[in-house]
Amino acid sequence: MFNPNFVLLYVNSPEASAVFYQNILGSAPIELSATFALFKLESGLKLGLWSKSTVEPSALACGGGAELAFALDDASAVDDLYARWSELNILQKPVQMDFGYTFVATDPDQHRLRVYALNAA
């Protein structure tokens, strides 16, 4: 059996996107070039930023069609991160939804970043 451990996002500029993700993740990429950047997150997940002009085979879709989700412990933590990310492009302000409390921002390539705290069971 195997588990996914790597997410690739196709971006205009891996170097510029790496700066963006370094700022929101609080860690530097472990690999960086003009066509690719790689982050290894505390969870073990790897986040790759690949130049959409060099990915093979060519990508048909880029930003906006999926979300990176960031789970937090409670609504207060969601509000705190929303305040820190207020300069980002916010698609959805903090709101209570059926699964929990959440907001959505985007990165420079319009990849969605969903922050949430699940409802208590």
Examine the domain organization and report whether 41 and 90 are in the same domain: no
The CA distance from 15 to 37, in Å, is 7
Whether residues 68 and 44 share a domain: the answer is no
Domain finish residue from 19, 37, 56: 56
> Which two three-digit tokens encode residue 43?
């969870």
pLDDT at 120: 84
Residue 70 near residue 113 (C-beta atoms within 8 A): yes
Domain count, the chain: 2
**Does one domain contain both 121 and 84?**
yes
CA dihedral 89, 54, 68, 61 (to 10 degrees): 80
Print the domain residue range for 116: 63-121
The per-type count for the chain, helices as H runs and strands as E runs, is: 2, 8
3-state DSSP helix/strand/coil percent for the chain, to nearest 5?
20, 40, 45
* CATH number (domain holding residue 97): 3.10.180.10
pTM over 0.85: yes
* Residue type (1 letter), 95: V
Average of per-residue pLDDT across 14-33: 97
44 and 70, same domain (yes or no): no
Contact 16, 49 (CB under 8 A): no
Average model confidence (pLDDT) across the chain: 94
**Closest by alpha carbon to 68, among 13, 17, 1?**
17
Residue 110 φ then ψ, to 5°: 70, 20
Q: Is the pLDDT of residue 62 over 80?
A: no
Q: Looking at residue 65, what is its pLDDT? A: 82
Q: Residue 2: pLDDT above 90?
A: no
